[in-house]
Structure 1
Amino acid sequence: MVVISRRSSLDITRAVVFAMVLREMQTRFSSRRLGGVWTLLEPILHLVLMMVIYAYAKDKTVPGMELPAFLLFGVLPFLLFKNISLNLMDSLEANRALFAYRQIQLMDTWVARFIVNFCISASVLMLMGFVLAFWGGYDLSIHAPLEWGVTWGVGLALAFGLGMIYCAIGEVLPESKTIIKLSYFPLYLLSGAIFPVWNLPPSVLSWLALNPWLHVIELFRIHASPSYPSMPQLNILYPAMWAGATLFVGFGLYRARRLHMMAS
């Protein structure tokens, strides 16, 4: 007598996500010309470019933190959060043919893309950190690892929530994808990823503090170095509320629109 065991829904989801992760990795590192190389080089080139710019600037120092550490803890996290949100937004077009299989859900593609982007960015962060610490001799120790980890969690949750919302908006208004992608350039400048914002006038900082990414990026540096200048406008609760709100809206849109998005 042959006994056929039925897999639980959790086992099916885990298998689907694992297969989607393998597919995403294969797509990025094999099928696109120089796709895998560019995925790894993009954050590195950002860091090198900013170091070159600072090398020719008059003020080459950042109080409380060495310049490479300042850029590493600003540029790489912002690029990770940006890539997560924009890759979730494009998941419909990239995986539309797979939705013919009833085991594959839109959420599976989101989770797979989140995992792939996080693993790639974490690898680049560790690689650059190793090079800067052991070859360059820079101090990259984390002063408050628990708070630093919480900040990572808030940033990742916010990026995931925004990605779900972008995907739902892009399905209804495909033209909005271009606007969303272009909006990340001013956000890159206004989030303190490449220049210190704590020396700006308080009236300007009060407006910049409306951007939750500014809180996340600056808190990365504050929790890494105890001597890095802090600002009274910074608060982890503010981006955490943004993360909770975007996740709530994103999951609501997913529940209401998932069948239409997968069928369109």
Structure 2
Amino acid sequence: MNDDMNGEINTPTERPSGDKKSGPKARSAWAVTRSVWFAMFMREAIGRTMTDRMGWFWMIAEPAAFLLIMIGIRSFIRGDSLVVNAPFIPWMLVGMMGFFLVREGMQQGLGAINANKALFAYRQVHPIDGVLVRNILDGLIRTAIFLLFMVGGLMLGTDFRPDNGFQAIGGWMSLWLLGLGLGLVTSVLGTLILEVAKIIRMVTLPLLIISGVIMPLNQLPHYLLDYLMLNPIVHGLEYIRHGFFDGYKVVHGTSMTYFWAWTLSALALGLLMHVRFKERLKSQ
């Protein structure tokens, strides 16, 4: 009665909107992907560098041993006279490290899916994640090893500094992208068809020879050179060599347009294959 007389009405107290309880904020798809990549990257990095006590040694020993063998062969074939306006040892080292970058990108894709198969139980993890993470890690490792060789060469009195730094870095990144594109394709083919993995490993040595890593291709007959220039790796290696040695005469017919046509096609094909066969790759 008194309440009515005073004009006061008892109503439930409303909670301010800021005090409303809410669940955890959902993360964006990109944030989830970054977390997955970081976790897989750390897993791969620890496995590659710390599981085997000799892991770092073999990463450096392989290109070093190959380089020493080629230097020994050079003394018999006088390779210095075959390369125009570029010292033979730095010329060969640049080509060798560039080729290894493509080769490892292609081969790392072969075992990336099977190595991460247990992680596919988590719906956030996809087969392509393992391929991307492996190629990123291998690219960083190869870059560190290449810089180590450059520093070692400078300490020994051999100038490995590029004449055109932007072109050298661009050529290095271009070769890494080609390796990534090929790795995306081989990861699908090698997982679905086991024989493909064996064939790819068999062709790496012939591919090294016909890519102009050891000897310059300019010395070959023109009719044979036309066929060898169909190999996109040759174009990428010649481009990065020209970035290191400004006066170097690249192989006739070198074209970065042709190289990028191959690189973009490999990337697009690899991505499409991963989308098309994602479920089969998970259950393979």
> Which residue is equivalent to 1:34?
54
Q: 1:103 to 1:178 in 2, by over 3 A?
A: same
Of 166, 173, 191, the match for 2:211? 191
CA distance in 2, matches of 1:128, 1:35: 17
Q: CA deviation at 1:218?
A: 1.5
Q: 1:102-145: CA deviations, max 9, x gaps?
A: 12111221121011101110010000000102x22222232333
CA distance in 1, matches of 2:243, 2:78: 27
Of 91, 112, 116, the match for 1:95? 116
Q: 1:43-92: CA deviations, max 9, x gaps?
A: 22222221222234334443211122112210011111111111012111
CA distance in 2, matches of 1:129, 1:150: 17
CA distance in 2, matches of 1:261, 1:63: 48
Of 195, 200, 221, the match for 2:241? 221
Native 8 Å contact 1:151 1:236 kept in 2: no
Of 154, 159, 177, the match for 2:197? 177
Output the amino acid matched with 2:258.
Y
Of 81, 85, 93, the match for 1:64? 85
Q: CA deviation at 1:199?
A: 2.0
Output the amino acid matched with 2:132.
V
TM-score w.r.t. length of structure 2: 0.87
Write the mapping of 1:2-151 to structure 2, written as runs, cut at 5 A.
4-32=24-52, 34-61=54-81, 62-133=83-154, 135-151=155-171
Query: Which stretches of structure 1, 4 residues or longer, exceed 6 Å deviation after superposition?
Result: none
CA distance in 2, matches of 1:32, 1:255: 34
> Which residue is equivalent to 1:155?
175
Output the amino acid matched with 2:105.
I
Native 8 Å contact 2:217 2:251 kept in 1: no
CA distance in 2, matches of 1:105, 1:40: 32
Q: CA deviation at 1:34?
A: 2.9
TM-score w.r.t. length of structure 1: 0.93
Q: Which is greater in Rg?
A: 2
CA distance in 2, matches of 1:104, 1:40: 32
Q: CA deviation at 1:248?
A: 1.5
CA distance in 1, matches of 2:259, 2:89: 25
Q: CA deviation at 1:2?
A: 6.7
Native 8 Å contact 1:81 1:156 kept in 2: yes
Native 8 Å contact 1:66 1:138 kept in 2: no
Write the mapping of 1:238-249 to structure 2, written as runs, cut at 5 A.
238-249=258-269
Q: CA deviation at 1:150?
A: 3.0
Secondary structure of the equivalent of 2:279? helix
Question: Structure 1: where are the runs of 5+ without partners?
Answer: none
CA distance in 2, matches of 1:177, 1:253: 16
Question: Structure 2: where are the runs of 5+ without partners?
Answer: 1-20
Instruction: Answer yes or no: is 1:167 the counterpart of 2:187.
Output: yes
CA distance in 1, matches of 2:245, 2:59: 29
Native 8 Å contact 1:198 1:229 kept in 2: no
CA distance in 2, matches of 1:93, 1:49: 35
Secondary structure of the equivalent of 1:72? helix
Q: 1:179 to 1:33 in 2, by over 3 A?
A: farther
> How large is the RMSD of aligned CA atoms in angstroms?
1.7
Q: What is the percent sequence identity of the aligned residues?
A: 27
Q: CA deviation at 1:3?
A: 5.5
